[in-house]
Structure 1
Amino acid sequence: MADEFKKTDLEILVSTMNRSNLDFLIPMFPFASFSDFNILIVNQTSEKKNLVSEFSNVKVINSFKKGLSSSRNIALKNATGKILLIADDDVIYFPDFDQKIIDSFHQNKEASVICFQTKTTENKPYSNYKNENLLMNKKQVFWVLSIEIALKSDEIKKKNVVFNEYFGLGAKFEDSESLFFLRRVIHNNLKVLFVPKYIVKHKKYSSSDELNSDRWLYARGANLYKRFQKFSYFFLFKLVFFLLRKKFISFTEIRHKTKVGLKGIQDYKALLKSKSENLYE
């Protein structure tokens, strides 16, 4: 059928930095050669340190811009596949990942985006996933990893859905890029579906390494204001006391951490006032 997708319609969008060769792709596909897949790499680098591909179906864009969301947007803009899979350079795919993705879009034709499952490198579920298909709302996309996202290229591009370049690693607020991307998808009346199929492995994130950092709390302050506006202050205080209760921070850190989160709120509000950012997803 003309509207059926094939595995060759899948393009993998890999964000990476400062690469000089393609060797990093080898462990991502332990069951096959990476050259068997359509891959678009955005390599954020400096001038005269470009990455080059000798494979026709492994394309490279060397970018001198910073930020993970910028990298994702460059990939989305230049991708040619009908189905696009968001990827990082440290993931490991399961042997049948591509077939699972294609089958899921065949079986759920109404979905513009499908979110899948990740296992840790210890072979455990990365998150507390549902056991059935779920049409997701703006709250339910909160825990989705970017590496779990596959999408229909034409529908996303038609609605001009992009990553918010103020959020994500290397940006002003280094968190929440996937959350606000998926919320923007839903805001544009496109459907985001969760399908309980494992497609990828990734090292388990250690919350103790991140939740006590100023960088994270500063970004989370901006996140809260973008989602809740005037109620963000209440949710920030609630978050700080959650961190205290879970022993991510000490009692003596409460004042400092609250000020960091408030600074995130203040700086995000300044972006809104300058009209360089919009509240809408």
Structure 2
Amino acid sequence: MVEARITIMVSTVDCNILSNPKLLSTPLHKGLTMLVINQKLSRSEDLILTNKFIDVINTNTRGLSQSRNVGLDNLKSDFLLIADDDVYYERNFEATIRESIEKFNDAAGFTYQIRTPDEKLFKKYKPSYFVHNRKSILKVSSISLLLNFARLNETGLRFDMNFGLGNKYPTGEENIFLNDLIGKGEILYYIPKVIVYHPKESSGSNINEELIFSKGALFHRMYGQYGFLAILLFLFKKKGLQAFGNNAKLLLAGVRGFIEYGKEKRSLE
């Protein structure tokens, strides 16, 4: 059997990947390469890397989804790992993902566990394998995602460029992408093994009106009119009854995002 070609597809801005030597020192070879998409936002110089197993695309595009799509449109591989410029990989990550590919050959993608540099799990994970559904994908982080590129190309899917950092709704691009993939009848597996490290994010501290506005749009994009219920459930989970009392402004922000995205969608129909 011919070994699958895997590409680590990294999004970076203004050559920031240069400040992450652990990522750049990932053991690469012919079957495991790296593609770096460098968006030039405030610096005009190109990113140049000399490793023969790393390709670089310098682009003037803006937005995380745009970066991902530039990579997808230029990828020459069988599978791709989604990465940001602040991650690095677990020592045996390649063996882990190759085992997944061999075991579940019907999969369009896999998600794995993330660990923080202090060796703690990034979030709560289930201990056993499962097939993702439209609910479970809401907990997926893009940097835990491995995609079967051939299956992806058959669907024609790309990241929604209204969502993700640098865009109008700066959250949820990976959730929308996976929701669309499931909508095409594709299968996504959760694998209970760590492959990547990422700095810990403080839970709850980033729950603000801007985020909830984006979540309102996200839930409309994913669930249509039923997305309004998702806003309520999300706020209740994060803030409890406070979301409907003293913090009612968060609920109103979610409603505004929900309504605004709905208007934009209708204007395009």
- TM-score, with length taken from structure 1: 0.86
Going from structure 1 to structure 2, the CA distance change for 1:238 and 1:86 (only over 3 Å counts) comes to: closer
In structure 2, the residue matched to 1:279 is none
Alignment of 1:180-259 (within 5 A): 180-211=176-207, 213-245=208-240, 251-254=245-248, 256-259=249-252
Q: Does 1:66 align with 2:62?
A: yes
Q: C-alpha displacement at 1:240, in angstroms?
A: 4.1
Instruction: Measure how far apart 1:56 and its partner are.
Output: 2.5
2:99 partner letter: D
The answer to whether the Cα contact below 8 Å between 2:179 and 2:222 also exists between their aligned partners in 1 is no
- Report the AA paired with residue 259 of structure 2: Q
Q: How many residues align?
A: 267
Q: Which residue in 1 is equivalent to 2:3?
A: 5
Question: Aligned-pair distance for 1:116?
Answer: 1.0
Report the equivalent of 1:117: 113
- Structure 1 unaligned runs (5+)? 277-281
1:78 matched to 2:74: yes
Q: Is 1:132 aligned to residue 125 of structure 2? A: no
SS at 1:208's partner residue? coil
Tell me the C-alpha RMSD between the 2 structures. 2.4
- Taking a change above 3 Å as real, the CA distance of residues 182 and 234 of structure 1, as seen in their structure-2 partners, is closer
- In the superposition, the TM-score normalised over structure 2's length comes to 0.90
> Compared with structure 1, are the counterparts of its residues 149 and 240 closer, same or farther at alpha carbon in structure 2 (3 Å cutoff)?
closer
Using the alignment, how far apart are the partners of 2:238 and 2:136 within structure 1?
22
Contact 1:15 1:41 (8 Å CA) reproduced: yes
Work out the CA distance in 1 between the residues paired with 2:241 and 2:33. Answer: 44
Select between 121-130 and 147-156 the one with higher mean Cα deviation: 121-130
Q: Is the 2:213–2:256 contact (alpha carbons within 8 Å) kept by the matching residues of 1?
A: yes
**Aligned partners of 1:136, 1:241: CA distance in 2, in Å?**
23
Q: Counterpart of 1:264 in structure 2: which amino acid? A: G
In structure 2, what is the Cα distance between the partners aligned to 1:243 and 1:117? 22
Structure 2 CA distance for partners of 1:108 and 1:240, relative to 1, 3 Å: closer
Residue deviations 1:113-157 (CA, integer Å, cap 9, x gap):
011111122211222222222111111111111011111111101
Structure 1 SS opposite 2:7? strand
Moved more, 41-50 or 109-118: 41-50
Counterpart of 1:183 in structure 2: which amino acid? Answer: N
For residues 161-176 of structure 1, the aligned pairs below 5 Å read 161-176=157-172
CA distance in 2, matches of 1:191, 1:215: 32
- Residues 250 and 139 of structure 1: is their aligned pair in 2 closer, same or farther, counting only changes over 3 Å? closer
Code of the residue aligned with 1:43 in structure 2: it is N
Provide the C-alpha distance between the structure 2 equivalents of 1:114 and 1:231, rounded to a whole number of angstroms. Answer: 27
Q: Which residues of structure 2 form unaligned runs of 5+? A: none
- Identity across matched positions, percent: 26
Post-superposition offset of 1:242: 4.7
Please tell me whether residue 54 in structure 1 is matched to residue 12 in structure 2. no
- Cα displacement (A) at 1:245: 3.0
The amino acid that maps onto 1:221 is G
* Contact 2:213–2:253 (CA under 8 A) maintained in structure 1: yes
Q: Matched residue of 2:58: which SS? A: strand
Q: Is the 8 A contact 2:63 2:166 kept in 1?
A: yes
Letter in 1 for 2:163: F
SS at match of 1:109: coil
